[in-house]
Structure 1
Amino acid sequence: MITRRGHLRPKSRYRERTYSYQRHEFQPDESIHTDPYPVLISADHGAALNKLLQVFSLVWASTWEQSANTFLAPLLGIPELPYIEWPPLAREWTLRERHHGSWKTKHVASWLDEHAERTPWAWVDDEITREDRDWFHRLYGDTRGGPFAVERLLMTIHPKHGLREFDFDELCAWGIKQLGGNAASCPG
């Protein structure tokens, strides 16, 4: 699962030198943003995501929902992806009952229960915390075994840096180990 904010675009002037970013402005939802929203996109990320598609089934876990396909997928050169539809006011409700992790965690878990059928999965986001990892551990059990154990990778991406080459390498290696595949599929 990928999100738009934080890992596909860094939040600071710092940019990993191996990627070239271009600034774009979008207005994905006028009810949220009345002014165009600036986004930094690297076409290099698109190439890496296309390679990951040979290992993973990618899903947008972005508040942009379908708008991620409308605005970002063409710039990245990736196909339209399934996306998580967040319940209305999900962020506000989840913050009230917060487990001190990402507001998305319980909604990602619900989506996984409905769509992933206990297959290994990875979630990449800049909001994932230790509390999220603990919460998933309580929900799905120890990844070392057991009847309900599910192999998982929760990867926190630093929002100032965005996804870097070694992050793609780690994702791909983990995916091949868990799901099978060929190392030639990996970015790099």
Structure 2
Amino acid sequence: MTDDVRPIIFLDVDGTLLPFGGPGMLPEPRSGPPAPGTPRPELDLIDPALGPLLLGLGCDVVWATAWMGDANVVVGPRAGLPTLPVADLPGYGPPDAQGLGWKTRALVREAAGRPFVWVDDDVSDADLEWIEREHRGRSLVLRVESAVGLTAAGVGEIAAWLGGLPDATSGGTSA
């Protein structure tokens, strides 16, 4: 695939690369980076093998997180990722009047018809339905369990989906 139709992987942090709610984890999610000087020992639980696995998929990996550019400083190095572009997201907030999460419209806009994978722990059925209706390209929304986060098996699911892409112009959404 050429660079203009290369699939995009939109990657969340909290609950995705940084699990919470399981043994030794934060009891509830925190959105965004820690305040300077705030200890976050759970950052040591980020799997450093995930970055190379994701980069090996041949996609453009883009942060899609409330951490914004701070993900490149705090999370990326721990996950084995280089500096990545950051999706142009609105401010963090509750679902809108249609029940869509705060990232959904922005990620479809950013994809601009290119095939994409969105890896997140906080995606609703309303988001899936809206993506199916509004996105011109193919998409996979990989909902991960926040207490576990993204695993090598999850990256394998992404790889299998990518292997089944006929081209960048057909439609469809998977969950």
Q: Taking structure 1 as the reference length, what is the TM-score of the superposition?
A: 0.68
String of CA shifts for 1:59-108, please: whole Å, max 9, x gaps. 00011111111112222222111111333xx233xx37332242211222
Q: Equivalent residue for 1:111?
A: 110
Greater C-alpha radius of gyration? 1
* 1:9 Cα offset (Å): 2.1
SS in 1 for 2:99: coil
SS in 2 for 1:42: coil
Q: Equivalent residue for 1:6?
A: 15
In the alignment, structure 1 segments of 5+ residues that lack a partner are: 16-26, 141-148, 181-188
C-alpha distance in structure 2 between counterparts of 1:61 and 1:139, whole Å = 19
Number of residue pairs the alignment of both structures matches = 149
Are the counterparts in 2 of residues 56 and 175 from structure 1 also a CA contact under 8 Å? no
Shift of the 119–112 alpha-carbon distance from structure 1 to 2, 3 Å rule, reads: closer
Q: Which has the higher helix share?
A: 1
Q: Equivalent residue for 1:50?
A: 55
Are the counterparts in 2 of residues 120 and 179 from structure 1 also a CA contact under 8 Å? no
Q: Equivalent residue for 2:170?
A: none
SS in 2 for 1:58: strand
Q: Equivalent residue for 1:24?
A: none
C-alpha distance in structure 2 between counterparts of 1:34 and 1:77, whole Å = 23
Identical aligned residues as a percent: 26
C-alpha distance in structure 1 between counterparts of 2:150 and 2:99, whole Å = 24
Q: Equivalent residue for 1:174?
A: 161
Q: Equivalent residue for 1:23?
A: none
Shift of the 8–137 alpha-carbon distance from structure 1 to 2, 3 Å rule, reads: same
String of CA shifts for 1:124-158, please: whole Å, max 9, x gaps. 11011211011112213xxxxxxxx4111111111
Shift of the 61–82 alpha-carbon distance from structure 1 to 2, 3 Å rule, reads: same
Shift of the 98–127 alpha-carbon distance from structure 1 to 2, 3 Å rule, reads: farther
Aligned-CA RMSD value: 2.5
Shift of the 178–14 alpha-carbon distance from structure 1 to 2, 3 Å rule, reads: farther
Q: Equivalent residue for 1:165?
A: 152
> Within 5 Å, which residues of 2 pair with 1:60-71?
60-71=63-74
Q: Taking structure 2 as the reference length, what is the TM-score of the superposition?
A: 0.73
C-alpha distance in structure 2 between counterparts of 1:156 and 1:101, whole Å = 15
In the alignment, structure 2 segments of 5+ residues that lack a partner are: 1-9, 25-31, 168-175
* 1:119 Cα offset (Å): 1.9
String of CA shifts for 1:1-34, please: whole Å, max 9, x gaps. 101111112213349xxxxxxxxxxx9464xx88
